[in-house]
Amino acid sequence: MKQAILARFLRYVSIDTQSDPHSTTFPSTYKQVEFAQQLQQELIELGFSDVALSDKGYLTATVPATVDNVPCIGFISHLDTAPDFNGANVKPQVIENYQGQDIALGDSAVLSASQFSSLTQYIGQTLITTSGDSLLGGDDKAGVTEIITACHYLLQHPEIAHGKIRICFTPDEEIGAGADHFDVEDFGAQWAYTIDGGEIGELEFENFNAATAVITAKGNNCHPGSAYGVLVNALTMVARFHAKMPLKDTPEHSKDYQGFFHLVDMGGSTEQAQLTYIIRDFEKEQFEQRKQWLTEMVEKCNAELKDSSISINIEDSYYNMKQQILPHPHIIEIAKAAMQQLDIEPKVKPIRGGTDGSRLSYMGLPCPNLFTGGHNFHGKHEYVCLDSMEKAAQLIIKISQLTAEQKA
């Protein structure tokens, strides 16, 4: 299984599937559809049933049940890779029997255990890294690889008892749109797992409540030579606004269950300028307080202005899936038991981000998140442990078995 995973993963990451947050189409990039079309043909050739690619870029398929009266469950990963770092011309490096040494990533970057302590747990194992000038794409082509490999194994071994299994590969997860056109009713699963986590053992059913706030300043432009008493610089306004933000209430100063404001974009001109923040908090009450605080900040700034104005628009993105999953504890217990039977220590932790599962859980499909075996996603220091990827595939198989056993 390990070699099949390696070959499949190396093939998938060579395909550029970055999404585009500025696109007006869905999916945001056609190259995601092209990848889905390749996977569609592959799934048909491997013997999957009900293989279908929707006009919105969602690829679904079925592994038929080998026993009756078992809940239909699902496994989900996403097709796209992050748009905020180069995702083209990926040239992965395979490091066999890693011994703790620094790994050169091209000519200018190094993957070092002194900087990334997670490397020390992989002595003697096989790592797959970038070549230093792109991301790797393990988020989430590792998940795609693991689902296809595990489910193909089940197709090849009908003696393994399991119920009906549905799989789906979604577009545009990285830009927060992966669940926009997901058809929960058509998918037909009672619950599902996204395979979109990090290191081996991760089991996540809590995530941030999330919103995006766009703050727009309107000024008045004129020639700087005749600007006295006339020019109002919108760029200066947004700069002063950001200077009032709490200095350490940011991602780089927060961890665990701490929330933050994160400035992700700023720009414009003298006439009009914008700041875009993402707002994150695990607790719903604190999440609402953050949004209210930012709104009041805008009101205070407007009160100080004479000839200009600042406006704010806040849109919620997703909510903490915990409230939708806790009423179904068996979903978590099956995943924990499966890990333990595979000698994997479950690492239950909150997601400091979101997955398709966070939105799907609120759409009626409870959907916690499982590990892929990757680290340092979205950048040149990204790497995946091949041995962990094999364990992730085995976990999918084991969860399918235990679901059947529990029902029996």
Print burial letters for 45-70: b (CB count within 10 Å at least 16), e (below 16). eeebeebebeebbbbbbbbebbeeeb
Start-to-end C-alpha separation, the chain = 28
- Token pair for 117: 């302590």
Question: 84 catalytic, yes or no?
Answer: no
In whole angstroms, what is the distance from residue 250 CA to residue 290 CA?
A: 12
Closest by alpha carbon to 283, among 232, 335, 208?
A: 208
Q: Which long-range contacts (CB under 8 A, 24 or more apart) does 252-256 make?
A: 255/352, 256/350
Q: Which residues contact 361 (CB under 8 A, 6 or more apart)?
A: 321, 324, 325, 367
Q: Which residues contact 398 (CB under 8 A, 6 or more apart)?
A: 338, 341, 342
Question: 80 catalytic, yes or no?
Answer: yes
Q: Which of 16, 80, 196, 281 is catalytic?
A: 80
Q: Which of 16, 140, 173, 202 is catalytic?
A: 173
In whole angstroms, what is the distance from residue 179 CA to residue 170 CA?
A: 8
> How many angstroms separate the Cα of 323 from the Cα of each of 188, 209, 261?
21, 11, 23
Closest by alpha carbon to 301, among 250, 240, 247?
A: 240
DSSP string over 321-372: THHHHTT-HHHHHHHHHHHHHTT---EE--BSS--HHHHHHHTT----EE--
In whole angstroms, what is the distance from residue 178 CA to residue 380 CA?
A: 24
CA angle 84, 90, 91 (to 5 degrees): 145
Catalytic positions, written as ranges = 80, 173
